Amino acid sequence: MSAARKSITLEGRFGMHRGGSIESPTLAYETWGALNERGDNAILIFSGLSPSAHAASSPEDPSAGWWEDMIGSGQALDIDRYYIICINSLGSCFGSTGPASINPETGKVYRLDFPVLTLEDVANAAHGVVKALGIECLHAVVGCSMGGMTGLAYCIRHPGATRAFVSISSATRAEPFSIAVRSLQREMIRTDPKWKNGNYDPDDPPIVGQRLARKLGMITYRSAEEWRGRFGRERATGEGGTGDRFKIEFSVESYLDYQAQKFTGGFDPNCYLYLSHASDLFDLAEYGGSLQSAFRRLELEKTLVVGVTTDILFPIHQQRELAAGFAEVVDDAELVELDCIRGHDSFLVEMDAFRPVLCDFFDSHCPESA
């Protein structure tokens, strides 16, 4: 079992999908397992908007990763058989080049001088890393949430670069409900006076707007069903000042507050804005003018679409649309609808539901669930 935390710099001008270019972007990535001699056992994982490349623990970084229970020896993504790669998205802030990075041409932080980011750019940068690792064709691309759309961008921009594709709680493109939510989240950050049109003091970021955005995120990442059973009308204890007319009263408010506190320290606000915007912009139908035409451009042998019935951000009918599109052009196209109650976030927290599905797909022998 080998593991590594690395980065690769793509030397030269990197042209951006919507125009402009950046100089020699760096991509942080982590790997687990080893590339076999034929070089055909690599699986590339695209994360959602906020995670780093640290999808699982490793000797170099024993802290739990964001998909810890999915990647490992004998797990669904079995590192004894596969070479697993996770790349921090271009535009993010965990080692990869993005709006919070120094622009080598000016010596200053990019901030809003960073060109418009699209998921095509995230996919193209990842493709550069995969090529640099000497991999001609991936065994599979696995994309979760935003990462599913990045994965679609990867497959359609680089036909033949992967044999299989797994989309988890993602879609061909964002619908207006999700666009509205993300647009409002961005507005929350942009209207925080401390954002200063992107020129915030790193020691005094627009934390108020970021916290509001995170709370709205949590409302759309989970489900009303889950919260009904988990919180009901339970009261919070010991919250708020006694003089505060609108202090926290219910447990669900306290939960959101805790989640927002936990998140907002770690993520650069400008990077968040760029990646959120990129999620709105992606549209598979731009390839050929319709979804049907776009699907025909794909060169995949096997696909799996996994979705959750309580997901309001990437709803189940979008899972069906994606799976139906694959079924038109791929011999082995599977759809799995899961009844998890934790909404969009289920793929991060309902391992007992997701693990068997991915074990099946990757022909792994998963440990029994606890």
| 348 contact partners, CB below 8 Å, separation of at least 6 | 66, 67
* 32: phi then psi, degrees, rounded to nearest 5: -140, 140
The verdict on 231 binding a copy of itself (CB under 8 A) reads yes
Instruction: Note whether 315 binds a copy of itself by CB under 8 A.
Output: yes
Q: Is 280 in the site for a copy of itself (CB under 8 A)?
A: yes
Tokens linked to 256: 């959101």
For position 149 contacting a copy of itself by CB under 8 A, the verdict is no
Regarding 191 and contact with a copy of itself (CB under 8 A), the answer is yes
Give the footprint of a copy of itself on residues 283-312 (CB under 8 A).
283, 312
The two three-digit tokens of residue 109, written as one number? 């932080």
Other beta carbons within 10 Å of 364: 19
Verify binding: residue 177, a copy of itself, rule CB under 8 A.
yes
Is residue 370 within 8 A of residue 329, CB to CB? The reply is no
- Cα distance between residue 260 and residue 268, in whole Å: 14
Site for a copy of itself contains 17 (CB under 8 A): no
**Catalytic positions, written as ranges:** 145, 311, 344
SS3 assignment, position 176 = helix
Query: Going by C-beta distance under 8 Å and a sequence separation of 6 or more, which residues neighbour residue 232?
Result: none
Binding window for a copy of itself (CB under 8 A); candidates: 130-138, 148-156, 212-220, 360-368: 212-220
The answer to whether 208 contacts a copy of itself (rule: CB under 8 A) is yes
Is residue 174 near a copy of itself by the rule CB under 8 A?
yes
Sign of CA dihedral 158, 161, 163, 169: negative
Q: Which residue from 252, 275, 322, 335 is in contact with a copy of itself, where contact means CB under 8 A? A: 252
Q: Categorise residue 95: left if φ over 0, alpha if ψ from -120 to 50, beta otherwise.
A: left
User: Is 321 a residue that touches a copy of itself (CB under 8 A)?
Assistant: no
The residue among 101 and 303 lying less far from a copy of itself, judged by its C-beta, is 101
Binding residues (CB under 8 A) for a copy of itself: these are 112, 116, 173-177, 179-181, 183-184, 186-188, 190-191, 193, 198, 208, 212, 215-216, 218-219, 224, 227-228, 230-233, 245-246, 248-253, 256, 273, 277, 280-281, 283, 312, 315
